[in-house]
Every structure is written in C-alpha cells, then in structure tokens.
Amino acid sequence: MTKLAKWGLPLPATIAVVVLLIIPVALTIATTFGETKGVFSTYAAFFNSGFRRAVLWRTLEVALITTAISLVIGFVTAYVIAQMPGRLKSIAIIAAVFPLLTGVVVRSFAWLIILGKNGIINTSLLSVGLISEPLSMLYTEGSVIVAMVYLFVPLMILTLTGVLEGIPRDLIEASASLGAKPVPTFLQVILPLATPGLIVGAVLVFTGSFTSYATPQLLGGEKQMMMGTFLYQRAMVTFDWVGASTIAAIMVVITIAVVTIMSRIARRLNPMAV
C-alpha cells in the first residue's frame, strides 16, 4: 500500500505535465527537423540572417539588463521590507506586489501615457522649460527595459523578502561583534544566504522578459522587435509555422542554458544554494 501511494499520488500530475507540456514542446521542436533541405536547415537560415540575429541579440540584451536592474532594485527593497516590524512589513509587501493585480497589457499601456510625446514626462519637462520640444522616448530599447523592470520587480521583491526574512539576525550581529564592517558582512554572510532567492528571482525575471510579447509590441513596435513579437509575426501574420517553431525552439534552448548557468553560479557562491 505504501509503495502504491508512493508512485500513485504523483502519477496524475506527472501525466498532466507530460501531456500538456513535454509532448507539445517536443512536437514543436520536431517540426523544425523535417525540412528536405537538411536536418538543421531551418536553424542555419535563422542564424544566417542578420535581421534575425539582431532580434535574438536584442532580446537577450533586454532580458539580461532587465534581470540585472530588477536584482538590484528588488534586493534593496526586499532587504528594507525584511527589516520592518510586522504590520508595516505587511503593508509594504502589499504595496510592492499590488501592480501584479493589474494585467500586463494595462501596465504596459500605462507607459505609453507616461513616455509619449504628450505624456506626463514630456509635459512636465516642457512646463518647467527644461526642453523645447517633446522627447522621443517610445519605441526604443530603453522604453522596453523600463516597462519590463516595472513589470518584474514585484516578483523579485516577493521572492527575496521571504529569503531575507529567513536569515537569522544573530548571524549578522555576530559578524558585527567580531569586527566585520557592513560591506564584508553583506558579501560573506547575507549574500551567500540570499543566493537561492536571487537565483529564483533572476530565473523568473529572465524567462518572463525573454519570452514577453505584449510589452515589446506596445512599447517597442517594429523598430525594437523581440523574439516574442517575431514569433507571433511568423505564426499569425505570415503563417510560417516551421519558422515560428524554429524561433520557439531557440528560445527554449537559450532559456534552459541561462537557467543552467545561473544554477552553476549559485553553486559557486553557495554550495548549499541549489
């Protein structure tokens, strides 16, 4: 009975993952190897195109910058929240994650109003005389990164707050009593213990920004096309399903590679992290 329960309880979830996730992804990737021109002809066509390489590099660049900025902002905010007393901490956490209650499209569209030529920033700068004509801030890589950071920082804060709360205060006090200054204490005590949360948060932000569609479409447009918007274009505009599957396969491989690299970095920083 115990053996039956051991294998029987996770069986429905395992079947669901295999049927709904693994098989569809495997079939999508398999279609990219069925071309008569060669097994890897679709991938060769992708990487031989300067435009497609530029889209891939732009997506990687935006995702990595977004992850780095979110790590810094999220860590500082989560550390401050973790030091707050109970009731104030609850209010701060609610305020930090409140944007998650709003849809991605709505939050991305709000940045059109903020960054537009008639938006809040341009109107304010014109009113105080700092600029003579509106700045073109939309449809740039910077506008996409700003919106992405706004979207994913709450996830980083939510992930790191629990980890930082779990660090015993006695360790920090012991480090200080032994003569360690704040910076060495942070690098040798707090950072290694926070590594699991940092890795989880970084993975969430990177995968979310690397595969994002709505935000790059609204704030980047055709000028700042990313892999998510490029995938949609190939599948729903040109109906190139093989090309779309190739893009999806490349995104899956890159995501797995980045997650693996992050895990190895975590093991180097803290062997007990992952």
Flag whether 11 is in a domain. no
CA dist 266 and 226 (Å) reads: 28
* More confidently predicted of 250 and 169: 250
pLDDT tens sequence across 111-123: 888 888 888 888 8
* pLDDT above 80 for 261: yes
24 contacts: CB under 8 Å, gap ≥ 6: none
For residues 103 and 122, give the distance between their C-alpha atoms in angstroms, rounded to a whole number.
Answer: 25
Tens-place pLDDT, residues 23-32? 888 888 888 8
In a domain, 222, yes or no: yes
Whether residue 10 is contained in a domain is answered as no
Q: Determine the structural domain holding residue 64 and report its residue range.
A: 38-269
Task: Name the least confident of 49-53, 88-92, 158-162, 185-189.
Answer: 185-189
Each residue of 68-86: pLDDT tens digit?
999 999 999 998 888 888 7
> Residue 122 is encoded by which pair of tokens?
């341009």
Task: Kindly report the CATH number assigned to the domain that includes residue 42.
Answer: 1.10.3720.10
Cβ partners under 8 Å of residue 143, min gap 6:
111, 115, 137, 219, 220
22 belongs to a structural domain: no
pLDDT score of 271? 52
Answer whether residue 111 is part of any domain: yes
User: In total, how many domains does the chain have?
Assistant: 1
C-beta separation of 109 from 86 below 8 A: no
Over residues 145-170, the pLDDT tens digits come to 999 999 999 999 988 988 888 877 77
Q: Is the pLDDT of residue 269 over 70?
A: no
Which phi and psi angles does 123 have, rounded to 5°?
A: -65, -40
Q: Is residue 21 part of a domain?
A: no
* Any domain includes 234: yes
Q: Which residue has the higher pLDDT, 170 or 142?
A: 142
Residue 208 counted as domain residue: yes
